[in-house]
Structure 1
Amino acid sequence: MLFNSYEFIFGFLPITLLVFFGLSKYRLVRAATIWLLLASLFFYGYWKISYVPLLLISVVGNYYFGQFLDGAKPGTPKAKALLFGGVAFNLGILGYYKYAAFFVSSLNHLFQTQWPVPDIELPLAISFYSFTQIAYVVDAYRGQTEDYEYDLPSYSLFVTFFPQLIAGPILRHNELIPQFKVLRNFVFSHKNVAIGLTWFILGLGKKVLIADRISPWVATVFDNAEIVTFTEAWVGALSYTFQLYFDFSGYSDMAIGLGWIFNFRLPINFNSPYKATSIIDFWRRWHITLSFFLRDYLYIPLGGSRRGEIRRYCNLFLTMLLGGLWHGAGWTYVIWGAMHGTFLVVNHAWKKFGVKLPQFFGWLITFLAVMTSWIFFRADNLYEATEIVKATVGIKGIVLVNDVEPALPWLAEMGVQFRPWQELPYLPPNYQQSFVTLGLLLLAVTLLPNTQQIIKQFKPKWWWAMGVSGIALACLLSLNRISEFLYFQF
C-alpha cells in the first residue's frame, strides 16, 4: 500500500485513525497500541503477506536479545556474546536476502566459476528495520535501555510503525517507544491533525507533482546511456538529482506528518541538502537519521578521530563505503559510497589548510560532486554510469540544441555542435519546458524554505487552508499515475 494511493488516503488511514482514537477515548490505551501494531502489520503485509513472518521473526528475536542484554553487565563475556549474536542475527538475515546473489555472482565473475546464483526476493524495508534493530541491540549492550521498560507490543510497534517502516526515518528506540507511554499522546488533537495533514500534503506534493513528473526524463536518458549526448546527459543527471530528493524527502515528510496525526513525533530526515556548501555540510542535511546511524554505530566504533588523522580518514572512507553497500547489492552503490568517502576525506583534509572557498564556489563544487555521484547511484551498472559521466563532461563531444546557436555563435568556433531537437531523441518532448522546470527546481532547492520551515509558519487561516487544499486537490487528481517511492528498493 502506497501513501500516494486512494486505498491508503481514503481507506486505511481514516479507519486506522478512527479505531485508534476510538479505543483511546475509552482509556483502552493498551488496546489502541495493539490496534496500531496490527494495522502496521496489515499495511506491511498488503504488499506481500509472505514478507510478514520474516519481519516478525526479526522483531521478536531482537526484542529478546535486548531483554537478555539488559540483564548482562556491559563488557562481560556474556554481554559480548549476546551483542555478537544480536548483530550477527540481523546481519545474517540482511546478508542472505540482500547480498547472497550479489556475492555469488561477483565470485563467479572474479574466478570464472559457474556456481548457481540464488534467486532470492528482497523483502520490503529489510535494510531499514535491520538497521533500526541493530541500533537497539547495541544500545542495550551499552546499558542505554535499562531506564526504559519495553514490553513486546510497544517494541514491536516501534519497529513496525507504518509511517516509517518502509523507508525511514531510521528511528532510535528512545525516540519513539517512550512516546507510547505518554497518555496525552492518545488524546485526539485537532491542532496536531491539522499540522500533520499539512506536512503530509506537502510531502505528497513533492512526490506526485514533482518527482513523478520528471521521472520519465530520467528513465529515457539512463536507458540509453551509451548514446546520449551532452545536453541529454545533463538533463538526465539533473532530473535524477531532483527526482531522488523530492521523492525521498517527500516520503519522509509524509511519514512525519502521519506521526503528527497520531500524536507521535518522528525525527527530521532532510534539511535542504542542496543548499550545502561542502560535502560535510551535505551529510548533515541529507538522510540525517542514516548519517547519525553511520556515525554512532560504525564510524565511532571504528575509532572515529581518536587514533590520528590517517586512521580517521580510513574510518571515514570505510564508513561511507559500507553506507553505499547498505543501499544495494551492486558495484554502483559501492562506487557511490567510495566517492562520498573520498569527498569527505578531501573535505576534512582541506579544512586543515584553513582556506575557505567563496560560498558560491563551495556550493557549486558540492552540488556537482553530489550530482555526479547520483549518476552511479541510479545507473544499472558501471558501464552505463561512466558513459553518462563521459557525456556530461564533454568527452563524447558537446552537442547543444540549435535554438541557442544564434545567441552564442562563438561556441561553434570552439567545436560545439548544434543540432535540432528532433535529432536529440532522449530530450523530453517539450524540451524548452523541461529546461525551465529544471532551472526553477534548482532555484527552489537552493533558495526556498524547506518543509519544516514552512510548517513553523503554520497558521489556521482561510488562505493557508486554501493553499494546502489546492495542493491536495492537484495531488488527488494525479493519483492515477501511482508509482512506488525510489527508496523502497533499498
Structure 2
Amino acid sequence: MLFTSIDFLFFFAALLALLAIVRNSRARFWIVLAASYLFYAAWDWRLLSLLVACSLWNWALGLVIEDAPTQSRRKAAMIIAVALNLLALGFFKYADFFVSSFETLFNIQSTGALGIILPLGISFFTFQGISYVVDIYRGTKKATRDLVIFLFFKAFFPQLIAGPIVRAPEFMPQLARPFRMNRPMMLLGAQYFLVGAVSKLVLADNLAYAADWIFADPAKYDTATLWLGLLSYTGQIYCDFFGYSMMAIGLARIMGYRLPINFRMPYVSLDIQEFWRRWHITLSNWLRDYLYIALGGNRKGAVRTYANLGMTMLIGGLWHGASWSFVLWGGLHGGALIVNRLWSRHVPREKRMPPPLAWAVTFLFVTLVWVPFRAPQWETTTTYFRGLAGLGDGTASWPYVPAIIVIAIIAGWHIGYRLAPRWRRSLAGFRHPGRFWQMGALLAAVLSIILFTPLSGTGPFIYFQF
C-alpha cells in the first residue's frame, strides 16, 4: 500500500479507530505489530517470512552477544549476525546482478536471470539489524529481551519500506514507556503527513512526468530540454524522498513516536560534505558509523582515510541498486568527498571560494551526477552528457510548463530557507499545531493535492526500488 493511496488511508483510519477503542498499552503494541505485518504482506505475503526471520535472528543473536562469557564468543556471534543480514541482502538484491556481471566479464552466453523477487525495504531492515547487533557488541546498547517490543521495532510500518533507517538507541527508549497518543502529537503528525503528501503528489509527480519522458529518449531533445529533464529529476528525487520521509515521520508522530529527520534542504549545501549531512541523513550516519569507522575512519593516516572514504561511497552507491551505474554514482561522490577533504586541509579559509560560487559548484556537481543514477543504461548516460554539453544531435524542444513552475517553487523554497533564518522552521516543516496561518497553509496544501496531482495518477516512491 502506498501512503498516498485510498487503501492506505482506510487502513490507517481503521488502525486509529482500533487504537482508540483498545486502551491497554500492551494490546496496542500487538495491534500495531499486526498492522505492520499486514501492511508488509499487502505487497507480497510470501516475503513476510523473511522480515520475521530477520527479526528473530537479530533478536536472538543480540542476546547471545550480550550474554557471551568471553570476548571471542561475543565477536563470533556479532559476525554471524552481520553475515546473516548481508547474506539475505546479497541474495535477494544482488544475486542476479553478480550472475549477469560474471557472464559479461567472461563472455559467457547468458543463462537468464534467476528471477529473484526483491523484497520491499530489505535494504533498510537489514541495515537496521546490522546496527542493532553492532551496537550491542560495542556496548552502546543493551539487548532487548522483550521479543514483542523487538518485533515492533523491526516492523513498525511507517519506516519499514523506505526508511528513515531507525536505530535502536534512538527508538527503543520510546518503546520502554506505555503506548500513548495525544492531541498535539496527532495534529503535528497530520501536518507532517500533509507536507510530505504535497511534496510527493504535487511536486515530485509533476516533475516525474518531464524527467521520465526526457530520460527515455535523450537523443532526440535539444540542450535546453535535456537541462530541463535533469533539473526535473533533481527536484523529483528530492521531493519524492523528502515526501516519503515526512509522511513516515508524520504517521509515527500521530501514534506518539518520533522518527529522525532524514532530509534537511540538501540543495543549499556549500560543499559536498555538507550535502551528505543534509541528504538521507540516517543513511549517511549509518555509512559513517558502521562502515567508514569500521574500515578505520581517519585513524590510520591520510591515504587510508581517503581510501576509506572512497570505499564507503562505492558501497553506498551499490546499496542503492544492483547496477554499475549506482557504483559509478557512489564513486563520483566518494571522489568529490576526497577532493573536498584535501581542499579544506590545504587551502586557507580566506582563499576559498565565496559562498555563492561554492554553492554553484556543489549544486552543479550533485545535479550532473544524477545522470548515471537515473539513466537506465550506460548509452543513455553518455548520450545525455553529450546533449547537455551541446554536442548532441537532438533538435526537439519541450518547454514543459508544469515542470518549470515546480522547479521555480523548489528553488524559492531553498532560497528562502538559506536567506531567511526566522522562516527556517516553517520552511523545513510545520512546528506549531493550531496557529491560524498554519491552518490556512494546510488547507492550501489539501487543495493543491486535489487540484495539481497529475491526472495520470501517482507513481510509487523512488526508494521502493532500493
Confirm or deny that 1:445 pairs with 2:414: yes
The match for 1:313 among 282, 285, 306 is 306
Q: What letter matches 2:443 in structure 1? A: S
Q: What letter matches 1:177 in structure 2? A: M
Normalising by structure 1, report the TM-score: 0.89
Q: Which residue of 2 aligns with 1:367?
A: 363
Q: Which residue of 2 aligns with 1:344?
A: 337
Confirm or deny that 1:121 pairs with 2:117: yes
The match for 1:214 among 199, 207, 212 is 207
Distance (Å, rounded) in 2 between the aligned partners of 1:156 and 1:452 = 35
Distance (Å, rounded) in 2 between the aligned partners of 1:484 and 1:19 = 28
The alpha-carbon deviation at position 47 of structure 1 amounts to: 1.1
> Does the CA-based 8 Å contact 2:74-2:137 persist in structure 1?
yes
Show the 5 A alignment for 1:247-326: 247-326=240-319
The alpha-carbon deviation at position 231 of structure 1 amounts to: 1.1
Show the 5 A alignment for 1:231-250: 231-250=224-243
Q: What letter matches 1:346 in structure 2? A: V
Deviation digits for residues 218-252 of structure 1 (CA, Å, limit 9, x no counterpart): 01111103333211210111000000000000100
Relative distance call for 1:370 and 1:123 in structure 2 (3 A) is: same
Distance (Å, rounded) in 1 between the aligned partners of 2:228 and 2:363 = 15
The match for 1:87 among 75, 82, 88 is 82
Displaced runs of 4 or more, over 6 A: none
Q: Which residue of 2 aligns with 1:12?
A: 11
Relative distance call for 1:254 and 1:436 in structure 2 (3 A) is: closer
Q: What letter matches 1:5 in structure 2? A: S
The alpha-carbon deviation at position 80 of structure 1 amounts to: 1.7
Q: CA RMSD in A?
A: 1.9
Q: What letter matches 1:121 in structure 2? A: I
Distance (Å, rounded) in 2 between the aligned partners of 1:483 and 1:135 = 31
Q: Which residue of 1 aligns with 2:420?
A: none
SS of 2:164's partner is coil
> Does the CA-based 8 Å contact 1:239-1:438 persist in structure 2?
yes
Confirm or deny that 1:467 pairs with 2:405: no
Distance (Å, rounded) in 1 between the aligned partners of 2:269 and 2:51 = 36
The match for 1:69 among 37, 59, 65 is 65
Q: What letter matches 1:469 in structure 2? A: L
> Does the CA-based 8 Å contact 2:59-2:144 persist in structure 1?
no
> Does the CA-based 8 Å contact 1:313-1:345 persist in structure 2?
yes
Q: What letter matches 2:323 in structure 1? A: G
The alpha-carbon deviation at position 115 of structure 1 amounts to: 5.6
Distance (Å, rounded) in 2 between the aligned partners of 1:457 and 1:80 = 44
Gaps of 5+ in 1: 400-422
Q: Which residue of 2 aligns with 1:135?
A: 131
Identity of aligned residues (%): 39
Q: Which residue of 1 aligns with 2:44?
A: 48
Q: What letter matches 1:443 in structure 2? A: G
Gaps of 5+ in 2: 418-422
Relative distance call for 1:262 and 1:174 in structure 2 (3 A) is: same
Q: What letter matches 1:424 in structure 2? A: A
The alpha-carbon deviation at position 445 of structure 1 amounts to: 2.5
The alpha-carbon deviation at position 465 of structure 1 amounts to: 1.8
Distance (Å, rounded) in 2 between the aligned partners of 1:202 and 1:447 = 17
Confirm or deny that 1:187 pairs with 2:180: yes
> Does the CA-based 8 Å contact 1:5-1:479 persist in structure 2?
no
Distance (Å, rounded) in 2 between the aligned partners of 1:269 and 1:250 = 10
Question: Which deviates the most, 171-180 or 263-272?
Answer: 171-180
Q: Which residue of 2 aligns with 1:3?
A: 3
The match for 1:157 among 149, 152, 161 is 152
Q: Which residue of 2 aligns with 1:166?
A: 161
> Does the CA-based 8 Å contact 2:306-2:338 persist in structure 1?
yes
Normalising by structure 2, report the TM-score: 0.93
The alpha-carbon deviation at position 201 of structure 1 amounts to: 0.2
> Does the CA-based 8 Å contact 1:375-1:385 persist in structure 2?
yes
Distance (Å, rounded) in 1 between the aligned partners of 2:425 and 2:161 = 21
Q: What letter matches 2:437 in structure 1? A: W
Confirm or deny that 1:200 pairs with 2:169: no
> Does the CA-based 8 Å contact 1:228-1:388 persist in structure 2?
no
SS of 2:314's partner is helix
Deviation digits for residues 258-296 of structure 1 (CA, Å, limit 9, x no counterpart): 111011000010111000000000000000000000000
Q: Which residue of 2 aligns with 1:403?
A: none
Count of residue correspondences: 455
Relative distance call for 1:20 and 1:174 in structure 2 (3 A) is: farther
Question: Which deviates the most, 224-233 or 40-49?
Answer: 224-233
Show the 5 A alignment for 1:19-38: 19-23=18-22, 25=23, 28-38=24-34
The alpha-carbon deviation at position 81 of structure 1 amounts to: 1.3
